[in-house]
């Protein structure tokens, strides 16, 4: 039995579009758990009314405050896994529109015998059908991002659309004491979860026929917002501290320095010095907590540290990213 988990934060109309598309293709045995994550009365009332109309399929939870993606999903996961009949969970962003057939295409790839228990979908942008994400890729630069090409190494599914087995989730919680890390709040918490699952021996797969349209960052102010910059880069440092083997980190240090020098230069040119200061300051403040979690992850590891290199795409970062960033910088300098 499947549970579908969706969090809404200030995206009520997009969430209803997502739910309409989902409800049209799931059977009566599928549970849909919806969290209204502190958006305010307008979103809350809209979604309560919608859930009431579909009370046989949707269970709605209301949070008075924004728990973030990590905290919100943890709440929903706890609710879902109380039902012993649930054997898999689908995480789905509220700003997605799943296309008919996406779910069977993902479910076909679940294979407990080979520990293939986390499945990524094909997320497309609704305006031009361009690829938004084919899962997560970890690049040589030490930064993880949306996988854009099928020939890039798949680290695991993005939290925007991920099918996970009950066994994987319960194993993570019993071994590491958490599903998602609530310290992350949002962004890169999916990378952290996937890496911890990889350390426990679980494998990912990509369902190329599972089509989902994804508007992207509707609830966080857009990909270029200060919020995304702060959480994205701070959390990318935290998952490195938690999960990356020291040998790999040492070998990657030159690329790490180049990457973060570029991040600072790019965003200083955009007048975002205050955000950069806050994110690196807070990343440093979080190091002791991440090191404690790292010790737990390392002690429970079921695969050798040498496997980590096989999970990393040898490219520095996304194709054309360096060229685009360079031209952007010089255009501003000009």
pLDDT tens digits, one per residue of 12-36: 999 999 999 999 999 989 999 999 9
Confidence tier at 193 by pLDDT (50, 70, 90) = very high
pTM of the model: 0.94
Helices (H), the chain: 12-23, 41-53, 68-81, 102-107, 166-176, 189-199, 226-243, 246-269, 273-285, 287-299, 321-333
Compute the chain's Rg from CA coordinates: 19
Q: What is the DSSP letter of 183?
A: G
Q: Is residue 313 part of a domain?
A: yes
| Pick from 44, 22, 27: nearest CA to 35 | 44
How large is the average pLDDT for residues 134-145?
97
Q: How far apart are CA 315 and CA 140, in angstroms?
A: 6
- 164 with 86: CB under 8 angstroms? no
CA atoms within 13 A on the CB side of 258: 11
Question: The domain containing residue 252 runs over which residues?
Answer: 226-333
Give the Cβ contact number of residue 310 at 10 Å. 9
pLDDT confidence band for 133 (50 / 70 / 90): very high
214 has pLDDT over 60: yes
Q: Lowest mean pLDDT: which of 70-74, 95-99, 267-271, 280-284?
A: 267-271
> What is the band of 238 on the pLDDT scale with cuts at 50, 70, 90?
very high
Element (H, E) at 206: strand 203-214
CB 36 within 8 A of CB 43: yes
Region 179-201: what's the mean pLDDT?
98
Predicted pLDDT of residue 224: 75
The verdict on residue 36 lying in a domain is: no
pLDDT score recorded for residue 60? 98
Decide if pLDDT at 330 tops 80.
no
Q: How confident is the model at residue 320 (pLDDT cuts 50, 70, 90)?
A: low
Whether 234 maps to a domain, the answer reads: yes
Which 8-state DSSP code applies to residue 28? T
- CB 96, CB 160: distance < 8 Å: yes
Task: Answer whether residue 96 is part of any domain.
Answer: no
Nearest CA-CA partner of 192 in 131, 228, 223, 237: 237
* pLDDT given at position 216: 75
Answer whether residue 323 shows pLDDT above 70. Answer: no
Task: Kindly state the average pLDDT of the residues 177-205.
Answer: 98
Q: What is the pLDDT of residue 322?
A: 61
pLDDT at 189: 98
Q: Is residue 279 part of a domain?
A: yes
Is residue 301 domain-resident?
yes
pLDDT of residue 270: 87
275 with 230: CB under 8 angstroms? yes
d(CA 121, CA 87): 19
> What mean pLDDT, rounded, does the chain reach?
94
Distances (CA, A) of 320 to 41, 129, 153, 317: 43, 19, 17, 8
User: What is the structure's pLDDT at 67?
Assistant: 97
Position 324 scores a pLDDT of: 61
Q: Work out the number of other CB atoms within 10 angstroms of the CB of residue 293.
A: 21
Q: What b/e string do you get for 319-330 counting C-beta neighbours within 10 Å, with b at 16 or more?
A: eebeeeeeeeee
Q: Please check the confidence at residue 102 and state whether its pLDDT lies above 80.
A: yes
Report the candidate in 6, 72, 76, 73 with the shortest Cα–Cα distance to residue 37.
Answer: 72
CB 233 within 8 A of CB 256: no
Structural domain count of the chain: 1
- Residue 111: pLDDT over 90: yes
Nearest of 149, 165, 55, 189 to residue 116 by alpha carbon? 165
Residue 296 resides in a domain: yes
- What is the distance between the alpha carbons of residues 119 and 116, in angstroms, rounded to a whole number? 8
Inside any domain, residue 213? no
Q: How many Cα neighbours within 13 Å face the side chain of 179?
A: 24
How many CB atoms within 10 Å of residue 208? 11
309 CB burial (10 A radius; 0-12, 13-18, 19+): middle
- On the question of pLDDT at 5 being above 80, the answer is yes
């Amino acid at each position: 039995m499947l549970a579908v988990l969706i969090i809404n934060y200030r995206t009520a109309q997009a969430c209803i579009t997502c739910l309409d598309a989902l409800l049209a293709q799931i059977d009566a045995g599928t549970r849909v758990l919806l969290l209204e994550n502190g958006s305010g009365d307008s979103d809350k009332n809209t979604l309560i009314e919608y859930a009431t109309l579909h009370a046989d399929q949707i269970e709605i939870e209301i949070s008075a405050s924004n728990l973030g993606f990590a905290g919100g999903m943890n709440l929903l996961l706890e609710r879902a896994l109380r039902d012993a009949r649930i054997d898999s969970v689908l995480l789905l962003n509220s700003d997605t529109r799943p296309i008919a057939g996406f779910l069977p295409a993902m479910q076909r790839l679940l294979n407990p015998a080979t520990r293939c228990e986390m499945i990524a979908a094909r997320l497309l942008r609704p305006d031009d059908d361009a690829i938004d994400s084919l899962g997560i890729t970890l690049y040589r630069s030490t930064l993880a991002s949306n996988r854009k090409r099928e020939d890039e190494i798949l680290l695991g599914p993005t939290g925007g659309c991920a099918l996970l087995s009950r066994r994987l989730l319960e194993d993570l919680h019993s071994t590491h004491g958490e599903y998602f890390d609530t310290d992350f709040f949002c962004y890169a918490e999916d990378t952290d979860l996937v890496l911890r699952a990889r350390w426990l021996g679980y494998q990912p797969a990509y369902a190329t026929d599972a089509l989902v349209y994804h508007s992207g960052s509707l609830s966080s102010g857009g990909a270029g917002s200060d919020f995304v910059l702060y959480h994205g880069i701070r959390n990318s440092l935290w998952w490195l501290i938690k999960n990356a083997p020291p040998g790999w980190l040492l070998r990657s240090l030159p690329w790490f320095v180049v990457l973060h020098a570029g991040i600072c230069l790019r965003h200083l040119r955009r007048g975002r010095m205050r955000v950069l200061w806050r994110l690196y300051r807070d990343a440093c403040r979080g190091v002791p907590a991440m090191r404690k979690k790292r010790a737990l992850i390392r002690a429970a590891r079921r695969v050798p540290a040498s496997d980590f290199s096989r999970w990393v795409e040898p490219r520095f970062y996304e194709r054309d990213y360096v060229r685009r960033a360079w031209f952007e910088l010089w255009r501003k300098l000009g």
